[in-house]
Amino acid sequence: MEKVKRNPWSHQEEVQRVRRKTERTERGAVLVELAFVVIPLLLLSLGVADIGFAWRDAVVTQQAARAASRVLVVAGDDESADRQALLSAITILGTDQIDDIEYIAIYDADNNGFPAACATSSTATCNRYTPAELRSLDDTARWGCGSGAYDSSWCPDRRTSNLEVPGHVGVQIKTNRGWVTGLLPGAVDISGSTVMRLDPMGA
C-alpha cells in the first residue's frame, strides 16, 4: 500500500492560521475588557470635572457678592451706589457670563434676611437686577434714582446708617448655568450672598 506523503508546509500554515485566529480573539477580548474599564473612568472624570467647575463658579459668585457689598458700604447713600456695586460684581463674574445670571439683588438687610419677594421683583426695600439691566450699566441715564431708573425702587439715597442705629445692606447673586461637559442633565443653580453694615453717614 502506497503511503501518502504529507506536506510539512501545509501543517505549518495550519498552525499559523490557528495562532493568528487565537491572537485576534485575544485582542478582541482585551479591547472589550479595556472598554469596561475606560468608559466608567471617563464618565467619572467628566462628572468630577463638572462638579469642580460648579465649585469654582460658586466661589467666584460669592467673591462677586462680597465685592459688591464692600462698594455699597463705602458708597453709602450715593445715588450711584448700586451701579458702582454691580460694575464691581460683573468685573469678577465676567461680562460673558451675564446671560447666566438670574438676578442680582441689593436689599435692606436690617430685617429678617433676604426678602422672598425680591426673588421675583424689586420692592420698596430691594432692587432686583436682571441680565437686561446689567447690560445697561454703561448707560448712566438709566441709573441714579431718577424716574424710571433701574435703581429707583430702593434708591440708595434712602439708606441710612449712624452710630446709634447702624444700617445693613445685603447682596444676593443667583446664577443658572449648564454643566460644562454636558454629561449631567439640566443646569446647576449657584447663589452667593453677603450682608455688611453700612458706614455711618453724615458723621
Q: Render each residue's pLDDT in the chain as its tens digit; 203 residues.
A: 555 455 554 556 655 665 665 555 656 666 777 777 777 788 788 778 888 888 999 999 999 999 999 999 999 889 999 999 999 999 999 998 899 999 999 999 877 788 889 999 999 999 999 999 999 999 999 999 988 899 999 999 888 877 677 788 999 999 998 877 777 777 889 999 999 988 776 54
Packed helices 8-75 and 81-93: angle between N→C axes, nearest 10 degrees: 170
Q: How far apart are CA 187 and CA 176, in angstroms?
A: 6
User: Is residue 118 a contact partner of residue 193, using CB atoms and an 8 Å limit?
Assistant: no
CA dihedral 34, 40, 46, 52 (to 10 degrees): -120
| pLDDT of res. 149 | 94
74: cell is 463705602
- Residue 6, burial from CB neighbour count under 10 angstroms (0-12, 13-18, 19+): exposed
Closest CA to 146 of 157, 159, 132: 157
| pLDDT of res. 2 | 54
Q: Is residue 126 part of a domain?
A: yes
The percent helix, strand, coil of the chain (3-state, each to 5) is 50, 15, 35
The pairing of strands 187-197 and 101-108 is unpaired
Q: Is residue 53 part of a domain?
A: yes
Domain tally, the chain:
1
Q: Is residue 28 part of a domain?
A: no
Q: Is residue 15 part of a domain?
A: no
Which residue range is the domain that position 191 belongs to? Answer: 34-197
Q: Is residue 2 part of a domain?
A: no
Q: Is residue 85 part of a domain?
A: yes
Q: Is residue 202 part of a domain?
A: no
The angle at the Cα of 87, spanning 127 to 200, to the nearest 5 degrees, equals: 65
- Residue 15, burial from CB neighbour count under 10 angstroms (0-12, 13-18, 19+): exposed
Distance, C-alpha 79 to centroid of its chain: 30
114: cell is 433676604
Q: Is residue 42 part of a domain?
A: yes
Task: State the pTM of this model.
Answer: 0.77
How many CB atoms neighbour CB 136 within 10 A?
15
The pairing of strands 101-108 and 126-129 is antiparallel
| pLDDT of res. 36 | 74
| pLDDT of res. 13 | 60
| pLDDT of res. 16 | 62
